[in-house]
Amino acid sequence: MNSFRIKVLVFLSLAGLAGVDAFTQQDPQFSHNMFNLLSVNPGYAGSQGMLSAGMINRQQWMGFEGNPKTTLFSFHTPVKPFDIPSGVGLTFMDDRLGFEKNMSIILDYAYRMELGEGKLGIGINLGLLSRALNGKWVIPDSDNHIPASQDPAIPDAAVTSLTFDMGLGVFYNTDRFYSGLSTTHLLEPTVDFGSGALMHMQRHYYGTVGYLIKLPNPILELQPSLFAKSDGASFQMDVNMLLLYNKRFWGGVSYRLGDAVVVMAGTELPNGLRVGISYDFTTSPIGAYSNGTVEFMLGYNLEVGTDKFSQRYKSVRFL
């Protein structure tokens, strides 16, 4: 079986997950998933062959008080310690929802090896996950309701807990194709707020695949991609399509099954800074009560030499 047929089969196998229910994940979701693979897959570290840094800010379901707000910073770069081809990365995330404030800092490592036309990264990440609750509980005054102070499962004051987290992933990419499989919260850690108040982190699974297609007009390229996720009980998938113009501008649409239609656009500036924005038109019932979701993205790539950084930037090429 030739390599093109293998790529098609991988793409279709992920598409087979399309008939699924809405996904209520503990991990925050992003519309710019094709630019944000490091946050869910440590095998991605170093895959671009350059130092890559990025930031994403997501304002979800605007118009709701306490709506989800997520900010993520990340960078990764290839390294070669003891002449071992590798990649390392760092991700910091601040995720807020209602009276929850969650933060994480994750270190990534990937061993990278030549495989066929591309490279395979086998990665692991280790880090710390902080979860905080600062609830202002409103309990109806009746005999059928128990005050928070009398329920050991509900903290009645501001609480914070810190726990160890871990993930695994593999990522394969060539000049025009990529695919990856990964898991977060591998050990399914328990966040203990004390007094019997516990939060159990579920293991999450991710799969992604994308391909860059040259069109008859040489300045146009098309990039379809899929991004699937599951917590073992429910599934979700983003079906993405981007059109690239002159390797500098892009626009596209995504469909998140049962949740939203996303439009996005962006550009890479002459100094190498990559800027993007997306807007989610919510298709689930919550869309009638919110003003949609806006997400901003920044990125930059810098070529890495053996001993020092080059002064030139390099186009991300998305893959």
Sign of CA dihedral 24, 27, 29, 35: negative
CA distances from 23 to 17, 153, 204, 259 (A): 12, 25, 11, 9
The least confident of 14-18, 112-116, 229-233, 296-300 is 14-18
pLDDT greater at residue 294 or residue 100: 294
Per-residue model confidence (pLDDT) at position 87 = 97
Task: Calculate mean pLDDT across residues 177-203.
Answer: 85
The alpha carbon of residue 40 and the mean position of all alpha carbons in its chain are separated, in whole angstroms, by 5
Range among 56-65, 152-161, 217-226 with highest mean pLDDT value: 217-226
Indicate whether 317 pLDDT > 60: no
Residues in the chain: 319
Q: How far apart are CA 194 and CA 174, in angstroms?
A: 48
Per-residue model confidence (pLDDT) at position 319 = 52
Q: Which domains does the chain have, with CATH numbers?
A: 3-313 (2.40.160.60)
pLDDT greater at residue 232 or residue 279: 279
Per-residue model confidence (pLDDT) at position 10 = 45
**pTM for the model:** 0.83
Task: Calculate mean pLDDT across residues 298-313.
Answer: 64
Average pLDDT, rounded, for the chain:
84
Per-residue model confidence (pLDDT) at position 51 = 93
Q: How far apart are CA 118 and CA 177, in angstroms?
A: 9
Q: Are 188 and 150 in contact (CB under 8 A)?
A: no
Per-residue model confidence (pLDDT) at position 44 = 97
Q: How far apart are CA 177 and CA 231, in angstroms?
A: 26
Per-residue model confidence (pLDDT) at position 12 = 42
Q: Which two tokens stand for residue 51?
A: 């130092």
Per-residue model confidence (pLDDT) at position 78 = 96
Nearest in space to 165 (alpha carbons), one of 110, 103, 88: 103
Per-residue model confidence (pLDDT) at position 281 = 93
pLDDT greater at residue 13 or residue 198: 198
Indicate whether 55 pLDDT > 50: yes
Task: Calculate mean pLDDT across residues 27-39.
Answer: 93
pLDDT tens readout for residues 264-278:
999 999 888 999 999
Q: Which two tokens stand for residue 270?
A: 């002459």
Sign of CA dihedral 22, 23, 24, 28: negative
